[in-house]
């Protein structure tokens, strides 16, 4: 049965239940409704049917005077498309950073962390630390050849602003559900009975490095690929701060220790915990 035929049957039943309304009055009502809600095709079809049938006989009750009607616009619900034809929505911003933080600086790091690409995020963290340090002039104003020197010395580390350390830590902490980050390392240091901001090699080797999985009691991690780049890594395992050799990815354990030794006080003094 065609749509118009279905509407006629429905309309006939409807009119039989309308006490005091005739076709002329119904036509006026639906005309007003259609005028105020032109997006509803059904109203137009009902109005047109009523217009056609105004002079025909339809079994309805006797008419009575109609009260003044105040017709309000009908809100049109959103049309849901089939699943395979849904209009793609623009993805919402998911960054945990405040709007004033520069995505050009930290956007790549956040992207890696969002996708749980821990190795890429670790390398990006070290790259960022070098880039930020190099962007700030030092006392000797001698630029370093980063093709050869890919680590941070004490002066480089001291140049990194507190805010940069806090941003990187926040990204690591949030996207790892509190398992990774500078602040996590600082808390573990205290848990291992280390004094806040004071480096102690014995605690570093025998407690802290064992706790976070850098040292197993017999040997240290020597190659960069030997870190555990998974969500199941021990708390504080990442970021590694290892600054591996760019040619063979070997880790210089002495330089690794010196990097942590200089960074440790920064973790406590810049407001991470």
Residue 232 CA: distances (Å) to CA of 15, 73, 110, 116: 70, 57, 19, 11
Give the pLDDT band of residue 180 (cuts 50, 70, 90). Answer: very high
Region 171-193: mean pLDDT is 97
- pLDDT, one tens digit per residue, over 69-105 is 343 444 444 434 344 444 444 444 556 656 556 778 8
Task: Report how far residue 124's alpha carbon sits from residue 186's, in angstroms, rounded to the nearest whole number.
Answer: 21
Give the pLDDT band of residue 247 (cuts 50, 70, 90). Answer: confident
**Do residues 81 and 87 touch, judged by C-beta distance below 8 A?**
yes
Query: By mean pLDDT, which of 36-40, 101-105, 171-175, 238-242 is the weakest?
Result: 36-40
**Do residues 96 and 170 touch, judged by C-beta distance below 8 A?**
yes
Non-local CB neighbours of 204 within 8 Å, separated by 6+ positions: 194, 257, 260, 261
The share of the chain scoring above pLDDT 90, in percent, equals 48
Residue 32 CA: distances (Å) to CA of 29, 35, 36, 72, 76: 5, 5, 6, 10, 16
What's the pTM? 0.63
Average pLDDT across the chain, whole number: 78
Q: Which residues of 28-45 are buried (b: 16+ CB within 10 A; e: fewer)?
A: ebbbebbeebeeeeebbb
pLDDT at position 133 is 86
Region 63-67: mean pLDDT is 40
- pLDDT, one tens digit per residue, over 104-163 is 889 999 999 999 999 999 999 999 999 998 888 766 656 666 665 577 888 889 999 999
pLDDT at position 69 is 37
**Looking at the predicted structure, is the pLDDT value of residue 269 above 70?**
yes
pLDDT at position 155 is 87
């Amino acid at each position: 049965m065609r749509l118009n035929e279905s509407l006629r049957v429905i309309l006939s039943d409807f009119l039989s239940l309308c006490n005091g309304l005739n076709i002329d009055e119904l036509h006026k009502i639906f005309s007003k409704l259609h005028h105020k809600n032109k997006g509803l095709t059904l109203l137009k079809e009902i109005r047109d049917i009523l217009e056609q049938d105004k002079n025909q006989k339809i079994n309805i009750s006797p008419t009575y005077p109609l009260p003044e009607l105040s017709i309000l616009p009908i809100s049109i619900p959103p049309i849901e498309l089939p699943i395979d034809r849904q209009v793609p929505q623009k993805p919402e911003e998911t960054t945990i950073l405040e709007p004033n933080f520069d995505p050009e600086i930290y956007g790549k790091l956040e992207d890696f962390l969002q996708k749980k690409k821990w190795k890429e995020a670790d390398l990006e963290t070290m790259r960022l630390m070098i880039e930020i340090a190099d962007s700030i002039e030092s006392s000797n104003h001698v630029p370093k050849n980063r093709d050869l020197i890919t680590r941070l010395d004490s002066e480089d580390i001291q140049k990194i602003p507190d805010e940069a350390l806090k941003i990187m830590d926040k990204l690591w902490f949030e996207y790892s559900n509190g398992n990774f980050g500078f602040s996590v390392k600082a808390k573990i240091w205290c848990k291992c009975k280390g004094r806040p901001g004071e480096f102690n090699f014995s605690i570093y080797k025998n407690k802290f490095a064992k706790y976070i999985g850098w040292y197993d009691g017999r040997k240290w991690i020597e190659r960069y690929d030997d870190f555990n780049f998974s969500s199941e890594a021990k708390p504080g395992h990442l970021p590694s701060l290892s600054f591996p050799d760019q040619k063979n990815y070997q880790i210089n354990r002495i330089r690794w220790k010196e990097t942590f030794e200089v960074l440790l006080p920064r973790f406590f003094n810049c407001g991470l915990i």
